[in-house]
Amino acid sequence: MMTVQSMYDLTHTRARSLLESVTYPWEALDSIGEAIMQLGPTLDPEAYDHPQENVWIAKSAMVAPTASITGPCIIGEKTEVRQCAFIRGNALVGDGCVVGNSTELKNVILFDGVQVPHYNYVGDSILGWHSHMGAGSITSNVKSDKSLVVIHDGQERMETGRKKVGAMLADDVEIGCGSVLNPGTVVGKGSRVYPLTSVRGVIPAGHICKQDGTKVEIRK
């Protein structure tokens, strides 16, 4: 369930070519900036402004004057970047997204329709179509001992070879307010995380993760 193919509908991102070139989403993290710099010059100048080096912003996007944007970066159509948002570079933000007040992005792919609207930190992460992070929820992308991040799925261990890996959220994921997604967290399609939860490892698709770490299948 941790593969790009199982987690994402690639019709909802301009990072499709990059993600199709890897098996697991975290394998794309090293190439986000390069992908943006290749994609940016191909964007329609009638639809995108190019206000500074390696930054492309859709003319239909709404960007607050207090937002800080550093390239490489693409801001998609009809996306809203609110007051004091801090985009540190290597950020590919899709169409119809919300990057909220005091939210910080660094080395990320946000699929179309993603909302990180209130005091979020999202670093070295990929957020799938229509995913939402509640107020104050963050991705932690570095372990306290600075060792390389390992993805844990039960007894299975997957070495990433990276010191910095945040969270991989599949399509239609909901993260509750105040939650912390620890390094190497993977959340499957349609899953939910309760507020104030510290999340580790893999949450299967279609599950709820409670504060005590219990994972319960969502009843349909």
Q: Give the model's pLDDT for residue 32.
A: 98
Q: Give the model's pLDDT for residue 154.
A: 80
Taken in order 111, 94, 96, 110, the sign of the CA dihedral is positive
Which parts of the chain register pLDDT below 70?
A: none
| 114 closest CA partner among 41, 172, 27 | 172
Q: Report d(CA 18, CA 59) in Å as an integer.
A: 24
Which tens digit of pLDDT belongs to each residue from 161-196?
999 999 999 999 999 999 999 999 999 999 999 999
Q: Give the model's pLDDT for residue 153.
A: 86
Which CATH number is 4-217's, of 2.160.10.10, 3.40.50.1700, 3.30.960.10, 3.40.50.1370?
Answer: 2.160.10.10
Q: How many CA atoms lie within 13 A of 47 on its CB side?
A: 12
Q: Give the model's pLDDT for residue 219.
A: 85
Q: Give the model's pLDDT for residue 172.
A: 98
Domain ranges of the chain: 4-217
**Tokens describing residue 84:** 């004091």
- Angle (CA) 118-124-125 rounded to 5° is 65
Q: Give the model's pLDDT for residue 127.
A: 98
SS3 81: strand
